[in-house]
């Protein structure tokens, strides 16, 4: 079956622009996570959805970052007024029932802010 997919695979934007990153989880997975991986570092948690609601958004670095999952499936991570420091690989993961199950990761979106 299909795994977690993320689009686009690469995104280059200019400082100050708005970007949207999309995640399609594995069908039927209710839990969805976003992580950010800076160069040479491990992934860092951003936000967790259980169904449609953001159950934990404590990892979002500031109010320029926002994520939605309106129908409990696809999620979009939105970044306003991008800064060069936002450049990273943004990873999405999903799991079947919730937090205790294995998280399956997508290939990531590489964001470059010029």
Partner 1 sequence: GNSVTQMEGPVTLSEEAFLTINCTYTATGYPSLFWYVQYPGEGLQLLLKATKADDKGSNKGFEATYRKETTSFHLEKGSVQVSDSAVYFCALRTIQGAQKLVFGQGTRLTINP
The 3-class secondary structure across 39-93, one letter per residue, is CCCCCEEEEEEECCEEEECCCCCCCCEEEECCCCCCEEEEECCCCHHHCEEEEEE
**H or E element: which one contains 109?**
strand 109-113
- For residues 7 and 80, which CB has a smaller minimum distance to partner 1 in the complex? 7
How far apart are CB 40 and partner 1 at their closest, in Å?
Answer: 7
- For residues 73 and 109, which CB has a smaller minimum distance to partner 1 in the complex? 109
- Which residues are at the interface with partner 1 (CB under 8 A)? 3-4, 33, 35, 40-45, 48, 55-56, 58-59, 91, 93, 98-100, 102-103, 105-108
- For residues 42 and 70, which CB has a smaller minimum distance to partner 1 in the complex? 42
């Amino acid at each position: 079956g299909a795994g977690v997919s993320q689009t686009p695979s690469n995104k280059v934007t200019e400082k100050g622009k708005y970007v949207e990153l999309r995640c399609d989880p594995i069908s039927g997975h209710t839990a969805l996570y976003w992580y950010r991986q800076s160069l040479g570092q491990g992934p860092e948690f951003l936000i967790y959805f259980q169904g449609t609601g953001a159950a934990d958004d404590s990892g979002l670095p500031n109010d320029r970052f926002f994520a939605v999952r309106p129908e409990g499936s696809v999620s979009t991570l939105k970044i306003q007024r991008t800064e060069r420091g936002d450049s990273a690989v943004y990873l999405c993961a999903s799991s079947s029932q919730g937090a205790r199950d294995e998280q399956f990761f997508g290939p990531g979106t590489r964001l470059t802010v010029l």
